[in-house]
Structure 1
Amino acid sequence: MVVVQVSSTVVFHEYAPEMTSKTSGHLQTAYAVVGDFSKIDKVEYDRTFLRTLDGGTIGLDVTPPANERILRDDTPILIVLHGLTGGSHESYVRAVLAPACTPVENGGLGYRGIVVNSRGCAGVPVTSPQLYSAGHTDDIRVAVLYIAKRYPEARLLGIGFSLGANILTRYLAEEGKHSRLAAGCAVACPWDLTKNAEQLENKWFHRNIYSKAMARNLQRLTARHASSLATFVENPLPQILNKVLQSKSITLSQFDGAITRIAGGSSPPFPFETAWDYYAWGSSHEVLANIRVPFLALNSEDDPVVQVLPYEAGGSPWVAFAITERGGHLGWFEQSREGQIRRWVRKPVLEWLRAAGEDLAVGDEDVRPIIDVDGFLRESGREGIGCQMIEGSEHIIGVEGEGGLLAGL
């Protein structure tokens, strides 16, 4: 059964996949981590690197690759934001991108997909002491700016997963009627970072299984870039990072209290006094009312990572909030008649994307003009941020991910 609360005029069709009453959020989440998805939803990408004004690097993975097929200039584009330490290789990303970018004649939507890989994630180098966080939106802002400039005739749609869903929500709320994205979809968004962090920290099982697993992922990810971070000798991050990497047992809030509150975004507002100050600032549940494009939010009631949900959806007429009884965190698995285990949640997501990409009536965009200043793309009136494409491109095989990291977390 799917419980749907709709506070907008968007119609969301209900799905009721066959799931046993014994299915739990823990099992769904565990399968998202340990399941073998290497033989399904294969996606390949062309990677482009963007350099930001602060010297950071973002990786854009575009599918289908240019050598596979050429799409029309007005083909809708699905811009994807991954989870905490993920990237374009994640199975939950490919579960949506594979059918969304399959040609129409083969049963797909025929869209273009672009995954925005955060600094240091999925093989993207770290070239500045600034990293990323759930609340920092300037990297997605400049990525969307670049994509809009490169594909001026295409309709842009956004989808975010977990931490990426929080970033997308905040971006759309901050942009309001000026958004370059025509619609958005947030999957397994953590919403109230403070309350959900408290739930993770205050329950023994959740603290020792989920909180510490996510912290280990962050430890391993930053360890890969320790030598790059060590070159920023005037920044406190290298010394702090050494202490964090030596810790044998660290929780997510402890990692955020040591690293993210300092390096998770630009100054101001970073650094924050504590992780809890960062959580209060970076939450997205209170900004839903500021969104001004059609927006679908999907969460599962039995998600062990996100346990506090904004059921009222901010009272926004632009937001459709769907809550399923089961699905875990980034799970929503069912077994097909052929015996394959796949994410059934992609069915409503693809329906939403098709409606947003093809049926949605969109008026003239009220967006800021794009300008070029010394080779950097910027928005008029917002000249503190910008980006430029830099040399170096790669071909990425989507099933090849970051070894050693727990997928889906």
Structure 2
Amino acid sequence: MGALLSLFVAMAHTPRLHFAQSPAAIRIRKEHSSTHGETPTLSALVASQCPSLFTRFRPAWWLSSGHLQTFYSAIGDFSNIDKVEYDRTLLRTVDGGTLGLDFTGPADPSELPADTPVVVVLHGLTGGSHESYVRAILAPACTPVVQGGLGYRAVVVNFRGCAGVPLTSPRLYSGGTTDDIRTALMYISATYPGAPLLGVGFSLGANVLVRYLAEEGDQSRLNAGCVLGSPWNFPANIDALESTFFRRTVYSRSLGQNLVTLMKRHLNSLSKFPDAPMTQAMAAVATMNRPLLTTFDDTMTRLCGGPSPPFPFPSGRDYYVWASGHDLLPKIRVPLLAINAADDPLVPMLPVDTGNAALSPWVVFSVTEGGGHLGWFEQASRFSAKRWITKPVLEWMKLVGNVVADTRRMKSLREADGFTKEEGRDDIGYVKVEGGGHVVGVEGQDGLLAGL
């Protein structure tokens, strides 16, 4: 018994927090100035408003390793908890693609003030709004304040072809392509012009969010961001993912097969584009059986994972180098909380592990000792677990949504050629199209590690 208790105590660690040498001074709303001062630093605000980042995360005793945490996140039954229902809006992009935006909140929008924060979610590799890790955040975030929630609105941006979104152009998505989230944010900011927009990205979606924030700088339509399980350095973490027989067989091949399964769902759609590189690559993809992730990316993603340029890339490796987000952290200009687990089997290499990581003054980087990939399960009762990560994410969302002042300098929108576009860019834009409907957010897509 004593040995078991010692093991449990050893599994409990306070997250390691990393800030820039001089954290940014944060403007806060007038109503909070008497409490926090006019311009407190990011580190001071986190210390006062995000206590979970300073308390120990204790993994459930039966989920003591990163592998077990990851498997439970992928195959656990979460269909009866964190239930979220959405109303889907379909947007047609300038290149003919389709984005699926799943909105959730009160049935009557007039129930909430115009400045109610909106959580904008980007999911993992082949996931969507149904994923349990998405619902674990959105269920409490959108619960009314009187019932213990934040009382926010939320929208999940489903990538092209994911979660039932039709594939209407010969182009896929990727971990480095930001035009689709940029387009979605144009629509969301126009729909809620007075609301703070708070980004939350998971895994692949986390890397997309980091790249968007770095590219936009102080003109970001997002007031703040939070990224969980970001893959950061693609080449280094892909190499680690395929460095052993176990990792290649269990992780890389499962992720590769999920992408093959996703593409096969859209065979009929691709037949409309017989000459497109995506359609030609599909002939090889259709014959694959549990390929390595690198095999799929070298066959398909490098060709059509985004607009041209920069696609196509000479190889999957070239795509990985371009897509990585770890070197972009110094360019962030809005508050960003990044959380990774040190025992994540999919992302063992983190920017802060090098000892000389360059962080923007706007970034706080938290590393938990346990948690796996999008797991972070702690014990709820004798034989049940709950996600610890919900607590620090909600504390962060409350801070950046209710306390931090809105300092965005967004570009104006205009109508051109039937699309809503951003000033200075003609290559991206949207028009709302028919379709969508009501979406019940429970587990709806199959495949091991499907949403990771």
TM-score higher than 0.5: yes
- What's the CA shift for 1:313? 4.9
- What's the CA shift for 1:236? 2.4
**Could you say which residue in structure 1 is the equivalent of 2:58?**
18
Measure, in 1, the Cα distance between the counterparts of 2:186 and 2:331. 20
**Could you say which residue in structure 2 is the equivalent of 1:98?**
139
Measure, in 2, the Cα distance between the counterparts of 1:326 and 1:405. 21
Measure, in 2, the Cα distance between the counterparts of 1:384 and 1:129. 16
Choose 108-117 or 339-348, whichever is displaced more. 339-348
The alignment's TM-score, normalised by the length of structure 2, stands at 0.87
Q: What is the letter of the counterpart of residue 86 of structure 2?
A: Y
**Could you say which residue in structure 2 is the equivalent of 1:302?**
343
Q: What is the letter of the counterpart of residue 27 of structure 1?
A: L
SS in 1 for 2:426: strand
* Percent of residue pairs bearing the same amino acid type: 54
Measure, in 2, the Cα distance between the counterparts of 1:382 and 1:370. 10
Q: What is the letter of the counterpart of residue 94 of structure 1?
A: R
**Could you say which residue in structure 2 is the equivalent of 1:201?**
242
Task: Trace 1:153-302 onto structure 2 (pairs within 5 A).
Answer: 153-302=194-343
The number of residue pairs the alignment matches comes to 408
Measure, in 2, the Cα distance between the counterparts of 1:260 and 1:314. 29
Q: Say whether 1:140 aligns with 2:181.
A: yes
**Could you say which residue in structure 1 is the equivalent of 2:31?**
none
Choose 274-283 or 332-341, whichever is displaced more. 332-341
Deviations 1:177-214 (A, max 9, x none): 11011100010000000111111122211111100000
Please say if residues 96 and 168 of structure 2, whose CA atoms lie closer than 8 Å, have aligned partners that are also in contact: yes
**Could you say which residue in structure 1 is the equivalent of 2:403?**
359
**Could you say which residue in structure 1 is the equivalent of 2:94?**
53
> RMSD in angstroms over aligned alpha carbons?
1.6
**Could you say which residue in structure 2 is the equivalent of 1:130?**
171
Q: Write out the 4+ residue segments of structure 1 that deviate beyond 6 Å after TM superposition.
A: none
- What's the CA shift for 1:383? 1.6
Q: What is the letter of the counterpart of residue 248 of structure 1?
A: N
**Could you say which residue in structure 1 is the equivalent of 2:38?**
none
Q: Cα–Cα, structure 1 residues 405 and 29, in superposed 2: closer, same or farther, change >3 Å?
A: closer
- What's the CA shift for 1:240? 1.6
Measure, in 2, the Cα distance between the counterparts of 1:88 and 1:178. 27
Measure, in 2, the Cα distance between the counterparts of 1:375 and 1:239. 31
Deviations 1:38-63 (A, max 9, x none): 01000000000000000000000000
**Could you say which residue in structure 2 is the equivalent of 1:120?**
161
**Could you say which residue in structure 2 is the equivalent of 1:35?**
76
Please say if residues 260 and 288 of structure 2, whose CA atoms lie closer than 8 Å, have aligned partners that are also in contact: no
Measure, in 2, the Cα distance between the counterparts of 1:300 and 1:384. 38
Measure, in 2, the Cα distance between the counterparts of 1:134 and 1:377. 25
**Could you say which residue in structure 1 is the equivalent of 2:428?**
385
Please say if residues 334 and 342 of structure 1, whose CA atoms lie closer than 8 Å, have aligned partners that are also in contact: yes
Deviations 1:89-138 (A, max 9, x none): 00000000000000000000000010000000000000000110000000
Measure, in 2, the Cα distance between the counterparts of 1:405 and 1:125. 22
Choose 339-348 or 266-275, whichever is displaced more. 339-348
Choose which of 370, 375, 388 in structure 2 pairs with 1:326.
Answer: 370
Please say if residues 65 and 372 of structure 2, whose CA atoms lie closer than 8 Å, have aligned partners that are also in contact: yes
Q: What is the letter of the counterpart of residue 197 of structure 1?
A: I
Please say if residues 50 and 390 of structure 1, whose CA atoms lie closer than 8 Å, have aligned partners that are also in contact: yes
- What's the CA shift for 1:68? 8.8
Q: What is the letter of the counterpart of residue 129 of structure 1?
A: P
Unmatched tracts of structure 2, length 5 or more: 1-12, 24-41
Measure, in 2, the Cα distance between the counterparts of 1:145 and 1:299. 29
**Could you say which residue in structure 1 is the equivalent of 2:446?**
403
Please say if residues 334 and 343 of structure 1, whose CA atoms lie closer than 8 Å, have aligned partners that are also in contact: yes
Q: Say whether 1:3 aligns with 2:16.
A: yes
Deviations 1:326-382 (A, max 9, x none): 00000000121475421111100100000000011233x222111111321111011
Q: What is the letter of the counterpart of residue 398 of structure 1?
A: G
Choose 133-142 or 391-400, whichever is displaced more. 391-400
**Could you say which residue in structure 1 is the equivalent of 2:358?**
314
Deviations 1:157-189 (A, max 9, x none): 101000000000000000001101110001000
Measure, in 1, the Cα distance between the counterparts of 2:451 and 2:418. 37
Q: What is the letter of the counterpart of residue 326 of structure 1?
A: G
- What's the CA shift for 1:218? 0.3
Q: What is the letter of the counterpart of residue 372 of structure 2?
A: G
Please say if residues 45 and 65 of structure 1, whose CA atoms lie closer than 8 Å, have aligned partners that are also in contact: no
- What's the CA shift for 1:33? 1.0
Please say if residues 237 and 263 of structure 1, whose CA atoms lie closer than 8 Å, have aligned partners that are also in contact: yes
Q: Which has the larger radius of gyration?
A: 2
Q: What is the letter of the counterpart of residue 94 of structure 2?
A: L
Please say if residues 313 and 321 of structure 1, whose CA atoms lie closer than 8 Å, have aligned partners that are also in contact: no
